[in-house]
């Protein structure tokens, strides 16, 4: 079994992006600029946004963080989105999800200019993704595609089972794995909360991608010998022995599953850092460097 070291792979990608930024700077052109909007004080969201800002600093991207109260009215948040759409200096921006329940996430996402939608959540980008047209791909699934590519994992003709059908992870992941691309060209099964005999589907998977948000759901008996397992889940479990009071767990019971598979992503250090690498790659594309090959 080999661990897929997402942290290391993402660092190489960030270094490549950093070199590109230096080139841009040296030629006197505008440095790519990513903005993030953080609504309220959800601790996990704060951690993710801080990691994104840190990655910008590391690569030389310009970054702007806009924080608002969790009580912000939807109309005011829409105002911030419009400002960012109109700001010529901002190349791309994200509104960190989840949003407080009084705000309609779809309305916010649809207000983002598709050209600046570096999280790849806008219906225009998702539609183009389905049609295999150039677009900004959803960051987490894009990061996972980069993992397959960087690790030289052959996905063609394989049975890929995706667990979870959210619009930001599971559904776009299933589309990307089924597209006529490399990586891609899989036969895909998308499982969700209403799937019957989910364990049987899992056991038939050559590639299993878990994105349900249920800690350690996938156990050893659910995985075929030699499968590739990608664990997207980031769950906080109470752990009084930690200074933070919690530990991170994926959707996969790592100790049971790892010995059975050929490759597996750890949590943390697997998909998480790749999401950030994909986000910055999207920002570079949004800044006009569309052919950037990472
Ligand atoms: P979500 O809650 O929006 O979606 C979960 C999906 O899982 C749903 O489609 C639901 O149908 C499915 N599901 C729930 N219970 C199920 C069950 N018993 N059997 C089968 N399917 C079931 O979650 P999300 O936003 O897609 O995130 C999923 C996980 O991935 C979370 O832990 C989240 O923190 C993590 N995540 C990680 C990254 C990263 O960068 N690593 C990025 C985004 C999300």
How confident is the model over 159-209, as pLDDT tens digits? Answer: 999 999 999 999 999 999 999 999 999 999 999 999 999 999 999 999 999
Ligand 1 centre to CA of 165 (Å) is: 7
Residues with CB under 6 A from ligand 1: 140, 163-166, 168-170, 191-193, 195, 198, 211-214, 232-235, 271-272, 275
- What is the spatial distance between Cα 157 and Cα 186, in angstroms, rounded to a whole number? 5
Count other Cβ atoms within 10 Å, centred on residue 50. Answer: 13
Nearest partner of 251 among 177, 198, 290, judged by Cα: 198
Would you call 89 a catalytic residue per the annotation? no
Count other Cβ atoms within 10 Å, centred on residue 108. Answer: 20
Whether the full predicted model's pTM is greater than 0.85, yes or no, is yes
| Nearest CA owner, ligand 1 atom 6 | 164
> What backbone phi and psi angles, to 5 degrees, belong to 260?
-90, -20
Q: Is 210 within 8 Å of 222 (Cβ atoms)? A: no
What tokens appear for 30 in the block? 């505008």
Whether residue 230 has pLDDT greater than 70:
yes
Ligand 1 centre to CA of 229 (Å) is: 15
- What is the spatial distance between Cα 206 and Cα 203, in angstroms, rounded to a whole number? 8
The mean per-residue pLDDT over the stretch 5-13 comes to 98
The confidence score (pLDDT) of residue 291 equals 78
User: Which domains, and CATH codes, for the chain?
Assistant: 28-114 (3.40.50.10860), 139-273 (3.40.50.720)
The confidence score (pLDDT) of residue 78 equals 98
- What is the spatial distance between Cα 174 and Cα 184, in angstroms, rounded to a whole number? 10
Would you call 119 a catalytic residue per the annotation? yes
| Nearest CA owner, ligand 1 atom 1 | 166
Radius of gyration of the chain, Cα coordinates, nearest whole angstrom: 19
Query: What single-letter DSSP state applies at residue 28?
Result: T
Task: Report CA dihedral (246, 40, 83, 124) to the nearest 10 degrees.
Answer: 60
Burial of residue 236 (CB within 10 Å: 0-12, 13-18, 19+) is middle
The confidence score (pLDDT) of residue 290 equals 83
Task: Report CA dihedral (264, 270, 275, 281) to the nearest 10 degrees.
Answer: -90
Q: pLDDT (tens digit, 9 = 90+) per residue, 83-110?
A: 999 999 999 999 999 999 999 999 999 9
Atom of ligand 1 nearest to the CA of 267: 41
Q: If you search the block for the tokens 């419009």, which residue do you land on?
A: 82
Ligand 1 centre to CA of 232 (Å) is: 8
119, 206, 231, 251: the catalytic one is 119
| Nearest CA owner, ligand 1 atom 22 | 193
| Nearest CA owner, ligand 1 atom 4 | 166
Whether residue 294 has pLDDT greater than 80:
no
Three-state SS at 230: strand
The mean per-residue pLDDT over the stretch 238-248 comes to 94
pLDDT over 70 for what percent of the chain?
99
Ligand 1 centre to CA of 210 (Å) is: 8
Count other Cβ atoms within 10 Å, centred on residue 106. Answer: 11
Whether residue 292 has pLDDT greater than 80:
no
Q: If you search the block for the tokens 């664990």, which residue do you land on?
A: 231
| Nearest CA owner, ligand 1 atom 35 | 233
The mean per-residue pLDDT over the stretch 242-255 comes to 96
């Amino acid at each position: 079994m080999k661990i897929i070291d997402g942290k290391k792979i993402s660092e190489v990608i960030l270094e490549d992006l950093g070199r590109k930024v230096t080139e841009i700077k040296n030629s006197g052109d505008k440095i790519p600029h990513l903005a993030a909007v953080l609504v309220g004080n959800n601790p996990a969201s704060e951690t993710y946004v801080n990691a994104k800002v840190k990655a910008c600093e590391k690569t030389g991207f310009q970054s702007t963080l806009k924080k608002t109260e969790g009580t912000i009215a939807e109309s005011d948040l829409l105002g911030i989105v419009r400002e960012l759409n109109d700001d010529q200096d901002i190349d791309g921006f994200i509104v960190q999800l989840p949003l407080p329940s009084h705000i309609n996430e779809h309305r916010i996402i649809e207000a983002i200019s598709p050209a600046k939608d570096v999280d790849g959540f806008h219906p225009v980008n998702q539609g183009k993704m389905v049609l295999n047209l150039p677009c900004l791909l959803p960051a987490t699934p894009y990061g996972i595609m980069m993992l397959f590519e960087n690790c030289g994992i052959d996905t063609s003709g394989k049975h890929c089972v995706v667990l979870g059908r959210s619009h930001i992870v599971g559904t776009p992941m299933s589309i990307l794995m089924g597209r006529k691309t490399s990586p891609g060209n899989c036969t895909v099964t998308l499982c969700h909360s209403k799937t019957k005999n989910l364990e049987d589907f899992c056991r038939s998977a050559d590639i299993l991608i878990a994105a349900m948000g249920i800690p350690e759901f996938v156990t050893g008996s659910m995985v075929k010998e030699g499968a590739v397992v990608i664990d997207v889940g980031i769950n906080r479990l109470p752990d009084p022995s930690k200074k933070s009071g919690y530990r991170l767990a994926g959707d996969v019971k790592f100790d049971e599953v790892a010995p059975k598979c050929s490759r597996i992503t750890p949590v943390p250090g697997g998909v998480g850092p790749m999401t950030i690498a994909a986000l910055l790659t999207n920002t570079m594309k949004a800044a006009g460097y569309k052919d950037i090959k990472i």
